[in-house]
Structure formats: C-alpha cells, structure tokens
Structure 1
Amino acid sequence: MMPLNEADVRAALDGVVDPHAGRGLVALGCVRGIGLDGADIAVDIVLGYPARGWHEALAATVRERLSALPGAGRVTVSVASRVQAHKVQKDLTPLPNVRNIIAVASGKGGVGKSTTAVNLALALQAEGATVGVLDADIYGPSIPKMLGLQGRPDSPDGKTIEPKRNHGLQAMSIGLLVDEDTPMIWRGPMVTQALQQLLGDTRWEGLDYLVIDLPPGTGDIQLTLSQRIPVSGAVIVTTPQDIATLDARKALQMFNKVEVPVLGIVENMAVHVCSNCGHAEHVFGAGGGERMAARYGVPLLGSLPLDIRIREQADSGAPTVAADPDSALSLAYRDIARRAAAQLSLQARNRSLPNIVISNT
C-alpha cells in the first residue's frame, strides 16, 4: 500500500463542500495546514466567516472523510473562523474599527426588514462575531425598541458618542437622541448628513460586522446612502408575494448600480403554521424569493415563517435569537447568518493601505 501523501488529503478535503459557500474546502482557501506523521493526519481549517454552530459538525465530516482514505491512521481536525475586511465601493474606504458593513434593505415597508436585521446581527454574534447595528431609518427608527435600549448615549469628548449596548450588540439610532414621539421633519440632505454623523461619530469597538437597517424603498435617500457608506455587501428582505418581490428587485438593482454585492435574499413570512391545528398555509404566496434569487443569480439565504413569536419577542426588546436561542426559529436565523457571511467571505478582501506622508523635518 502506498503511503499517504498531501495530495491525497487535499483531494479528500476538496470533496467536502461547504454548504454555506457552495465550494470545496480547498477551493475556498480555508485549509491552512496539513500535517502527516506516518499514517496520522492533522488538518487545520480556518473559515472566513463566523460559524461556531457548525464547527463541530464540519470537523466530524472531515474526520470521517479522511479516515476513509486507504492507510489512514489517527485523524485530528482543528476548525476556527477568522473574519477579514472586504472591498467596498470604489473611492470609499472601510471605517476604523469596522471590518465589514452589511446593509439590510427592502423595496417596500412591512416585510419585516428591521426584525430580520436585528436577528441577523444577533445570529452573527451567536456564531462568534463582534457585531453592531445602525438604525438608518431616520424617519421611523425601531431598533431601540427592538433591542430594549433606553436613555441617551454617552459622549466622552463632546464630539463622539458611545454605542448603546444590549444582548451583546453595539447599537446606534437617531431614536436614542430624540424623544420617542418627536417626528423627524427633515429633507433628504439632512437625513443623509445625520446618518453619516451617526455612522462616523459613533465609537464602534472592534466590529467584525456592522449591520445597517436601511429605510424601505429605493429613492434618493437610499441611493445616496448606498454611495456614501462603505458597504461590503447587502441582504435583501422580501415576502413571497409578487408585489413585494417586484419592489425587492428594485432594491437589488440599486445595489448592483452602486457596485455593492448582493449576498442573497431572505424570504420572510414564507409560511404560517396554525398553533392550534398545525395546518400550514402560504398566506403571502409561495416561492417568490426562490424565483427572484434564480432570476438574478443570487443565493436564497433562507425562508422564515410568519410566526407570532418573532413579532412578540421583537416588540418586547428581546428578539428571537436572544429570547429563545435554542429554538428552531433562532437556528434558522443562524443558518441565514452563516450563509450571508460565507457569501461575503467569497468577495475580494480590502487591500487598501493608509496614506503615508514622508516629509523632511
């Protein structure tokens, strides 16, 4: 029997397809080391996205695959994750202390975008990332209520502000700076300026991801924000019904025009299961998100049910992933978070260097 060699091990590893990224482990570039000691094999895998909930299952799959190689002895597998900063729109640079910004958008209101955004942020955190949330809906901020945040943020120097924190997330919203009942009667340029200040003046601390909950629609405000904020990727939220996917397609095309990669589509309120009889009904139609994803060649990150618990938990200030972390709903959000982050990990990394000025003094 021929002794094992590294080529055999690599071929076996590339046969293990990452279900979140859709590629083999070698093709993904996440196999960082292969050690051979006689018949014994040691493999070091570093994923480019947070996947704490999948590490053990991946390690078990790799051990099983490598143990099946002829002549294989003991197999040791190490799995970790490391999040890198990825490219943003041309002429923009990532923010200090924020590796990646993920914009969550929809073409229309009422599709559960904000609820999806906060649960996505909590899910990324549950998978091992450091995460923040920025509420970009100046006219109708809802993030403070959803995250149970109260009180004005602190400003240590009178120029910058500390993010509010709850459930482990860092968060900022205009809703924390004005009275809850005060309407924001501002024109577009004021809204854009306010959001840029909230983003740039907040003292974000070592974020792997900043999830931005964009206002609904694709008007001047959304387009301007998409051009001025250094976004690494976008997630589109829709319901299955045709009128919702029609508007969601506009949001997707907006990001294409400003060269922001769309990481995928989340289909919200896909099915309702009666809590009394268990009957499943597609209240808003079926398959709209899947058809949209196929049409534009982007992944369907996942489908979420129309479930009263999601609404009740968000209204109470403890969204589903925080309130019931082991539930099927939370696991669905975590799978969506892994898929979105995995798609981002496939994008080019940010290679920009700070400007260095050398002067004779």
Structure 2
Amino acid sequence: MPYYRRVGEIPRKRHTQFRSPAGSLYAEELMGVEGFSSDSALLYHRFLPTAIVNARAMPDSRGRLTANHPLKPRHFRSQDLKWEAPADVDAVTGRRTLFGNADVTIAFAAATTPSPLYRNAAGDELLYVQGGAGVLETVYGALEVADGDYVVLPTSTTYRVVPHGELRLLILEATGHIGPPRRYLSTKGQFLEHAPYCERDLRGPVEPLLVDGEDVDVLVRHRAGLTRYTYANHPFDVVGWDGCLYPWVFNIRDFEPITGRVHQPPPVHQTFEGPNFVVCSFCPRKVDYHPDAIPVPYNHANVDSDELMFYVGGNYEARKGSGIGIGSLSLHPAGFTHGPQPGAAEASIGAEYFDETAVMVDTFRPLDLGEAADACEDPRYAWTWARRGPDWS
C-alpha cells in the first residue's frame, strides 16, 4: 500500500515487550511480502497466531478450465447464473469460476449468507461489488462495502464476508500481488498528481475487530489446494497493528476519467495491476471534443492480451445491439480483431458524454473458460457484427 497507517494499540518500539492489562505478553505477527524486502504490517495478537489443533485437506471447488476453442469473442450473462440453494450461497464456497489462467482466476458469487473464515495464501484477491452491501470482517478490522467498491485483500489476510441481503461480487484471485499501477506512484509510494485517484479516495480498517472463540475453523487456499485449519483461538484477536500492508477499499465512482480531443486508449482507465494482468475502470465521462472525433473505440487487435469487460452501469455505447446489458461479461481474445457494433461509430458522432460503467480485465496470457462461463454463455454474440452465423436466427 502507498502509505503508513496505525490502528488500535501498539508499543512505541517494534519487537519490544507489549503486555495486556492482565500482564500477559501480546504475540507479534509480521505480515510481509517479498521476503522481508517490501511492504509489511506488524500485528499484535492476544493469543498465539500459530496455535492450530487440526488440519484437514478439503476438496477444491474451482472446477476445471477449458480452452477458448474454437477461438471467438464471447458474451456471458452473470445475471443468468443459478445456484442449487441460493439462500445458502456465501462469498467463498459459493464462488463460480468464470475464467482463469496461470496468473489469475476470475469468479462470480451472489452471496446471501456469511462466509466461513478464509485466507488466500496463494496471492492477493480483488473483489468488485456489482450490487448490494455487506461487511468484510478481517484480522485487521472491519470494512463496510457497497455497490461500486473494489476491495484489495493482501495475500494471507484472514477474512469473512457478511452480506446485507444479496451481495453480488466479481472476484479476482491472483497468483501474486495487486496494487495501483507503478506509474501512478512516486519512488516513495505516494500517488502522483497525474494519477486518477489518490490516498484520500481509499478506505481501510479504522479500529480492531476482537472476537472470542475456541477451536475456530479457517479455510486456507494454498498452491496445493485447500486446507481447513482449526485454531485454538479465534484469529480476530488483534489489539493493534501498523504498517503499509492491509486490506483497503476504493469506489469506482472516485476514479477521475482522463479524456482528450480524440479517443483515448484503454491504459488511461487503468486502476490496478497484477501479475500479467491489469484492471481498468470505464466511468461516466465527457468524451472526445475534436470536431471530427468518433467517441467510441476504433477496431483494435490486442495481439498480446485477452480483454474481459464486465458491464455494471449505464449503457455501453460501443456494444449497442449486441445483447449485452448490466451484469454481462464480454471476452475478446487475442487473435480476434474487435471493435464497436455495426452503426455504433456513426451513432456516437457528436456525443458529448457517455453514461457507462464497466470493469475491464486485460490478461497477458489467454483466459480459459470455467464451468460458470459454460452455464451462462450467449451463443449468438460472436456473429453480431455480421448478423448471421451458425447460432444466428
């Protein structure tokens, strides 16, 4: 994270005695990345964070991935996904895998019930709230989240998700770390003046979250699969912490669009970067103001990346007539030249403002398709530019 924060009670010096009012020594835990060579936080526990009493291998629910073959653009409707018991879906075990590759797994959940305690020890997670509200309870404290929030969860953060009603989430599970693009940051980690968001737009935990309990289960994802630990004491026992590594929230409405006289390329919308992928935010904005500008995107072949768009608000001008709506995802793979739907370029001429909101994930390795993608695909989408094809009617 770009800046230092302090929450709860901590001692004046690191790695010195820090005792409870009853006189017992608090247990330090250093949460750090890149082998003590990068960002970290120092947490103070009431009990030993190492005290497990059981460990059990658990089945992995991600399912298998299949290649996008034959290679074609695809449209998926997250709103059409069904769960066997919708009243019992949680944001961890209820994830449905849409896409994945060696760098990132992308899933969707329509959560209605609290999740188990969970920790992803294989990489950072990025959650986008498409709809609803809830609270993320974490070892660092609680975070209230709602429509439009991105949540960055550092590797090995223990948390659970408690929905307020239905909470619809797009979930990215990386195999490394997710953060602001490096070009937005100074050498000391401060957001620079040209960045489309800054520290004032971010929210982090503001107070400790203390929960009592014994023999508490935590589901842990690691590189070999899933393990369920049973801890002697509840992991939410941190009385204070400080550092630059913690979960944080940024709302897409606080992204300040970068515009120009002619159409701007997707990097101006970049919001996060991860291992071999980027995340961009397309927000309501004034569009191109050259007198001869064509505001919608030009046809383009991203030869090194697959482009995944998640449509979450307004009306995406370049996709009118394609069947895409709120909750849709389009996948335009490398090897396919993609662009606006027929008539969209002409129709956009003279527009001054686009009321559209979308989250884009560009991956630099091909995205394979998960079981949830198979369950909600619109087979006609690939032929909408020509208006005819094997699934067209």
- What TM-score comes out, normalization by structure 1 length? 0.24
Structure with the higher fraction of residues in helix conformation = 1
- Using the size of structure 2 for normalisation, the TM-score is 0.23
Higher strand fraction: Structure 1 or Structure 2? 2
